[in-house]
Amino acid sequence: MIKLFWLIAALLAYQSNFGQRGLMDETVIGVDEKLGEIIPPDIRLIDENGEEINLGDIIDKPTVISLVYFRCPGICSPLMEGIAEAIDRTDLVLGEEYQVLTISFDARETTDLAVNKKRNHLMMMRNREAEEHWRFFTSDSASIARLTDATGFRYRRTGNDFIHSATLIVVSPQRKISRYLNGTYFLPFEVKMAVLEASEGRVGPTINKILQFCYSYDPAGQTYALNITKIVGTIIIFFSVVLLLFLSIKPIARKLKSSTS
């Protein structure tokens, strides 16, 4: 019985350490969600006209924030295409019910680069309001660090590029983080629900939180891949614990039955 106890404890400890290692790996590159926290108002940004503004001065309605870098050869373009498609497909009125801010986390990037990137995406869109209410920004390294820390956005520089994940951060008019939407494709319904929740200041759990356990971010390919090892390992450990508990309880039940007969 004692051996059985220690075997179960060892299995649980292994799973706990495995999960912690996975969590540590994901927080290096990914999103450390900070739902309910307030983004500082005095984070400085540079808009498409080259003028410096404070983030708090432009968030006066539910706001969808995407953190990218405009030279990105990987996941940033699909992310911005996903944003453009979501803007076109949702029945929310851009500029009245919500706005979108795309901010570069690469301090080396210029306003001209931001403007060109925006122009490329606007050419593919039907929504004419996007020209005014989907705004592109650059910033300095100190302000970027404050923003990424406040939103829990984690990335790593590799040479001239960055390894990072794709996510949208939805905030209320009071700059409270209310929802994260991960990936590069967004259903109009989930975008609408996130914006409506933000308008009321409500904090909603990430819908695909469970999927994040099953999928791991692949820094090399900058994509999400099904983590078969984690899933199978969890299933094996679960059924091993169930089997061990059954084998330990069965003799006890047999003794109780014989003592009462």
What residues contact residue 208 under an 8 Å CB cut-off, 6+ apart?
182, 183
Asked whether the beta carbons of 191 and 90 are under 8 A apart, the reply is yes
The DSSP code for 44 is E
pLDDT digits (tens, 9 = 90+) for 49-73: 999 999 999 999 999 999 999 999 9
In sequence order, the β-bridge partners of residue 135 are 101
As to burial, measured by CB atoms within 10 angstroms (0-12 exposed, 13-18 middle, 19+ buried), residue 204 is middle
**Residue 248 pLDDT greater than 80, yes or no:** no
Task: Report pLDDT for 234.
Answer: 67
Asked whether the beta carbons of 67 and 124 are under 8 A apart, the reply is no
Strands 52-54, 63-68: pairing kind: unpaired
Classify domain 32-206 at the CATH superfamily level: Glutaredoxin (3.40.30.10)
pLDDT digits (tens, 9 = 90+) for 155-174: 999 999 999 999 999 999 99
Torsion angle in degrees (nearest 10) through CA of 114, 182, 170, 134: 30
pLDDT digits (tens, 9 = 90+) for 189-204: 889 999 999 999 998 7
Q: Could you tell me the pTM of the whole model?
A: 0.71
Q: How far is CA 255 from CA 9, 78, 209, 246, 249, in A?
A: 25, 64, 45, 14, 10
